[in-house]
């Protein structure tokens, strides 16, 4: 069994919450507005819009466990959306406290990279294969291979086999 001290650091803190049962008329912008009191404390958020069959949910990582507890106390009761409709979401701590790593940004353009420019320069300086001339030995070899291909009998395609007996 793994000891708690051996777990990765992000899984030791209880600062990631999930808000479930978000109705389909509440979108991400409206939910962000509802959570605006905690906007300074939100480190990461992923909103899953509801469908006809399943209600929406939102995963939020906050900066501290104390802020997470405050968030849970606010979101575990009835809330009013921008249109005045009341809904009651369920908020709780996530079992899995990890979050995906931030995306790696690539600041350089592929078409300006040294590798691509080198390839492009090499491609422009190389000869086109169709313009190359063959030596007499190479031409004779190509002709002999072509003649051998002509002499080979073509395979006849027969009728497909029937795997059942005709009545």
pLDDT tens sequence across 76-98 = 777 776 677 777 888 888 878 77
Compute the C-alpha angle 94/31/80, nearest 5°: 110
How far is it, in rounded angstroms, from Cα 33 to Cα 55? 19
- 72-91 core/surface letters (b: 16 or more CB in 10 A; e: else): beebeeebebeeeeeeebeb
Class of domain 16-93: alpha beta
Tell me the domain boundaries of the chain.
Answer: 16-93
How far is it, in rounded angstroms, from Cα 117 to Cα 109? 11
Query: What is the average pLDDT score of the chain?
Result: 77
Residue 30, φ and ψ in degrees, nearest 5 = -70, -40
pLDDT tens-digit map of 130-166: 556 778 888 888 888 878 887 777 776 666 666 666 6
The tokens for 106 are: 């690539």
Judge whether residue 34 has pLDDT over 70: yes
Q: Which pTM does this prediction carry?
A: 0.53
Judge whether residue 123 has pLDDT over 70: yes
């Amino acid at each position: 069994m793994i000891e708690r001290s051996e777990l990765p650091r992000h899984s030791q803190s209880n600062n990631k919450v999930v808000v479930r049962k978000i109705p389909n008329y509440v979108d991400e912008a409206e939910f962000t507005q509802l959570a605006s009191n905690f906007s300074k404390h939100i480190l990461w958020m992923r909103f899953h819009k509801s469908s006809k069959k399943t209600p929406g949910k939102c995963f939020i990582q906050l900066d501290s466990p104390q802020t997470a507890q405050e968030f849970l106390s606010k979101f575990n009761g009835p809330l009013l959306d921008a249109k005045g409709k009341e809904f009651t979401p369920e908020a709780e701590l996530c079992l899995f406290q990890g979050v995906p790593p931030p995306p790696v940004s690539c600041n350089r353009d592929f078409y300006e990279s040294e590798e691509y420019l080198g390839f492009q320069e090499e491609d422009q300086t190389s000869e086109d294969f169709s313009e190359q001339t063959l030596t007499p030995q190479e031409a004779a070899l190509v002709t002999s291979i072509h003649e051998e291909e002509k002499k080979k009998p073509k395979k006849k395609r027969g009728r497909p086999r029937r795997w059942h007996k005709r009545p």
